[in-house]
Amino acid sequence: MKKSKINRLRAAGWRVGSVREFLELSDEDVALIELKLAVADVIRRTRQRRELTQTGLAKLIGSSQSRVAKMEAGDASVSLDLMFRTAFSLGLSANEVSKQIAKPRPARGSSKKVG
């Protein structure tokens, strides 16, 4: 295993910095992961705003609910290509996605703190 579990960790509230040395992650890897997580968040929020279920979105993009779930979880098995394509299917433009990403999101998951 190398980057198969990173997203899980990060999604669970870990600060990336804390696992970076432990796993072998380059700066670019970290940046890419954070980008994916940001896009994942945009997708989830947009889907919810559109009042779509994961299943509904899956149908919209010609995929399955599990893919959507993984996508929103920032799972390593999902590419940026699929994420952006999905965002576009939700009616977002590239610029809109960019703006949503730039904007700091309200720190979800405040429970599992890290020392």
Residue with tokens 């590239």: 94
Among 16-24, 72-80, 94-102, the segment contacting DNA (CB under 7 A): 72-80
Which of DNA, a copy of itself, none interacts with 35 (beta carbon under 5 to 8 A by kind)?
a copy of itself
42 binds DNA (CB under 7 A): no
Least spacing, CB of residue 100 vs DNA, in Å = 19
* Separation between Cα atoms, residue 94 and residue 65, nearest integer Å: 24
Is residue 40 within 8 Å of 82, Cβ to Cβ?
A: no
What DSSP line would sit under 38-94, residue for residue? HHHHHHHHHHHHTT--HHHHHHHHT--HHHHHHHHHT-TTS-HHHHHHHHHHTT--H
Which of DNA, a copy of itself, none interacts with 18 (beta carbon under 5 to 8 A by kind)?
none
Q: Which residues bind a copy of itself (CB under 8 A)?
A: 27-29, 31-32, 34-35, 38, 61, 79-81, 84-85, 88-89, 93-95, 98, 101-102
Q: Which residues bind DNA (CB under 7 A)?
A: 8, 48, 53-55, 58, 61-67, 69-70, 72-73, 76-79, 81-82
